[in-house]
């Protein structure tokens, strides 16, 4: 039976289900988003055209870095809005959060990927903008058809980003039993959803929501610090970079957090819950994105020293049990190259 629920979590409302997109206009209106700025892309806009029709203004979010994009967009806004609505993937949602956190009204998110950005309070702040703060969307409209509608290889890459959120939620300093349940359930849904023929898109959408919730409550650690650093150094695509690096990150953490990685291995189907088995199970899933090496994403050895140094200075690294040294990070990336 399809999952369909409304979840009140503190100050935010989360609506998940196959009818969520059809309810989007009413949900926005009921939750105070009547005069809103819509941030989107051409592809995402076509998936929910009614949202653009009702928006007071529509802004296309370009490719690039969220801190720079959000600062540029803030400089171009001449009007004030009751809210900012994101219709798109992680870059679009994070940009909306950044603009909202700089005073452009409350934020709502209608995700079109499995990034989980709609559930987390993490994002880059607008570059050079004083007083900006991190926020999370007050309204999340999560429709599986929108979230998991991508072709298989792109869907698998996005699912690995969600699995990375689930994995890291198991071993950060703020890991807890509630988020463990959400993260492990997410992992099992991803394993089943990616390997189904056709892929179980509803399961993957729910998995991304659960993983985003767990990550939003516990934070990120070395894997995300490393992937963000690679993306910024090399310009590689975010989801695919996560997918390629995730088996290597699981191998790195097997000895540092054996209980967490054993739990992950079990959720991914290993009957013994062997922490060393997690990396192999993740690798079999991540290969479905069509990339298993960083080199095919445009990453070269010249990019790695910058990425390693950036990872070492990334604040999320401190959330990692026994944070790896710079030489370990370099070796890990070279194994993935």
CB contact set of 271 (below 8 Å; sequence gap of 6+)? none
Residues in the chain, total: 337
β-sheet with 12-16: strand ranges across: 5-9, 12-16, 139-142, 106-111, 83-88, 36-40, 57-60
- Residue range 234-259, pLDDT digits in tens: 999 999 999 999 999 999 999 999 99
Query: Residues 303, 233: contact at Cβ < 8 Å?
Result: yes
Rounded to whole angstroms, the Cα distance separating 15 from 289 reads: 28
This prediction has a pTM of: 0.94
Domains and CATH numbers, the chain: 5-147 (3.40.50.1970), 152-336 (1.20.1090.10)
Q: What is the pLDDT of residue 82?
A: 80
Residue 3 has a pLDDT of 83
Do residues 29 and 14 lie in contact, with contact meaning Cβ atoms separated by under 8 Å? Answer: no
Distance in angstroms (rounded) separating the CA atoms of residues 77 and 129? 14
pLDDT (0 to 100) of residue 80: 75
Cβ–Cβ under 8 Å, residues 208 and 251: no
Q: Extract the tokens encoding 292.
A: 């298993």
Helices assigned H by DSSP within the chain:
24-30, 42-47, 49-54, 66-76, 90-101, 144-147, 152-169, 177-195, 201-218, 222-234, 238-254, 258-267, 277-286, 304-312, 326-336
What DSSP character marks residue 176? -
Which residues, at least 6 apart from 29, have a Cβ–Cβ distance to it below 8 Å? none
Q: Which two tokens stand for residue 227?
A: 């992937």
What local confidence, expressed as pLDDT, does residue 22 receive?
94
Strand partners, 110: 87
**Strand, coil or helix: 105:** coil
Query: In angstroms, rounded to a whole number, what is the distance separating the alpha carbons of residues 78 and 75?
Result: 8
Query: For the chain, which residues score pLDDT lower than 70?
Result: 1-2, 78
Tokens of 249: 């990150």
Q: What is the pLDDT of residue 2?
A: 60
DSSP string, 64-76: S-HHHHHHHHHHH
pLDDT value, residue 1: 43
Element holding 37 (H helix, E strand): strand 36-40
Dump pLDDT digits (tens) for 284-308.
999 999 999 999 999 999 999 999 9
- The answer to whether 319 and 219 are in contact (CB under 8 A) is yes
């Amino acid at each position: 039976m399809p999952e369909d629920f409304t979840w009140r979590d503190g100050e935010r409302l989360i609506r998940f289900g196959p009818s969520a997109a059809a309810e989007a206009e009413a949900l926005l209106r009921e939750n105070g988003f009547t005069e809103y700025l819509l941030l989107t892309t051409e592809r995402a806009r076509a998936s929910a055209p009614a949202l653009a029709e009702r928006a007071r203004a529509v802004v296309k979010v370009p490719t690039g870095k969220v801190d720079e994009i959000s600062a540029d967009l803030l400089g171009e806004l001449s009007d004030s809005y009751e809210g900012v609505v994101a219709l798109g993937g992680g870059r679009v949602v994070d940009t909306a959060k950044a603009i909202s956190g700089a005073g452009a009204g409350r934020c709502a998110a209608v995700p079109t990927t499995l990034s989980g950005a709609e559930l987390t309070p993490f994002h880059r702040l607008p570059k050079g903008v004083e007083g900006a703060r991190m926020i999370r969307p007050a309204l999340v409209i999560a429709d599986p058809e929108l979230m998991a509608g991508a072709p298989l290889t792109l869907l698998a890459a996005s699912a690995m980003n969600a699995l990375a959120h689930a994995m890291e939620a198991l071993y950060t300093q703020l890991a807890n039993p509630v988020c463990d349940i959400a993260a492990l359930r997410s992992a099992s849904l991803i394993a089943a959803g990616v390997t189904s023929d056709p892929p179980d898109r509803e399961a993957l959408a729910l998995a991304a929501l659960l993983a985003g919730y767990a990550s939003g409550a516990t934070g990120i650690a070395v894997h995300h610090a490393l992937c963000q650093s690679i993306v910024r150094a090399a310009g590689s695509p975010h989801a695919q970079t996560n997918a390629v690096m995730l088996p290597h990150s699981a191998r790195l953490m097997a000895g540092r957090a054996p209980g967490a990685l054993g739990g992950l291995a079990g959720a991914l189907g290993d009957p013994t819950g062997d922490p060393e088995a997690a990396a192999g199970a993740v690798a079999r899933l991540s290969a479905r994105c069509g990339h298993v090496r960083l080199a095919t994403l445009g990453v070269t050895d010249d990019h790695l020293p910058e990425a390693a140094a950036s990872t070492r200075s990334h604040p999320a690294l401190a959330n990692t049990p026994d944070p790896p040294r710079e030489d370990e990070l370099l070796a890990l990336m070279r194994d993935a190259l």
